[in-house]
């Protein structure tokens, strides 16, 4: 039986945030080096440079990580490729679907990954590890499978649409309107 279990895990979180963490670490070490051995002994200039770097590069990473985490918190998906079904569990409440229940799928990737399609060089952004797939189901449910749950780039699901954007925002109006209150706990039956 070929199955796949998806939920937020440390490995995928690290893959998403790794580049940003290493960039922050490298930049911090550079500033420390400049302060100790460099010509710049003015502490306020280094703090200003670090503050601007943090504001422009790291704050978006924190935003993506928090919104992706909130969207997928308490969500697990079990996919059975043999029976072509998947089970979604959100906060202990479970629903079963078949692959045919998916009416639309949309992959949202960072613009950096468009180079795989058109072979045009693009610089990686610190948040290029954040991407997601949005599934719309027949009953109106929308599921966001984010990079905190699985490696979206190597996902073997072919999406209907692929969008490339510099900032892969989860649109808040989409992920907050998912109503799980009418879901029945199939474990109680």
Three-class DSSP category at 57: helix
Supply the pLDDT for residue 1. Answer: 57
Supply the pLDDT for residue 61. Answer: 87
Supply the pLDDT for residue 25. Answer: 86
Supply the pLDDT for residue 41. Answer: 66
List the chain pLDDT tens, one digit each, 189 residues: 588 888 888 888 888 888 788 888 888 888 788 778 877 667 777 778 778 877 887 888 888 889 889 888 888 999 998 999 999 998 888 999 999 999 988 888 888 888 878 878 888 788 888 889 888 899 888 888 888 888 877 777 778 888 888 888 876 555 544 455 555 554 454
Supply the pLDDT for residue 168. Answer: 83
How many beta carbons lie within 10 A of that of residue 146, not counting itself?
28
Supply the pLDDT for residue 174. Answer: 55
Supply the pLDDT for residue 150. Answer: 86
Give one DSSP letter per residue of 56-116, joined into a string.
IIIHHHHHHHHHHHHHHTTEEEEEETTTTEEEEEETTEEEEEEGGGEEEEEEEEEGGGGHH
Supply the pLDDT for residue 183. Answer: 53
């Amino acid at each position: 039986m070929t199955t796949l279990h998806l939920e937020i895990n440390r490995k995928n979180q690290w893959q998403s945030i790794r580049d940003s963490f290493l960039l922050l670490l490298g930049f911090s070490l550079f500033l420390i080096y400049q302060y100790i051995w460099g010509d710049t002994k003015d502490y306020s200039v280094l703090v200003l440079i670090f503050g601007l770097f943090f504001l422009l590069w790291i704050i978006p990473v924190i935003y993506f990580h928090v919104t992706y985490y909130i969207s997928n918190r308490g969500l697990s998906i079990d996919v059975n490729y043999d029976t072509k079904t998947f089970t979604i569990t959100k906060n202990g409440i479970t629903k079963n679907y078949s692959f045919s229940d998916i009416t639309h799928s949309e992959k949202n990737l960072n613009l950096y990954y468009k180079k795989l399609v058109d072979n045009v060089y693009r610089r990686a952004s610190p948040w290029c590890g954040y991407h997601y797939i949005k599934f719309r189901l027949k009953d109106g449910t929308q599921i966001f499978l984010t990079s905190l749950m699985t490696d979206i780039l190597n996902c073997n699901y072919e999406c209907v649409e692929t969008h490339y954007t510099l900032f892969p925002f989860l649109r808040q109006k989409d992920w907050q309107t998912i109503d799980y209150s009418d879901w029945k706990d199939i474990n109680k039956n």
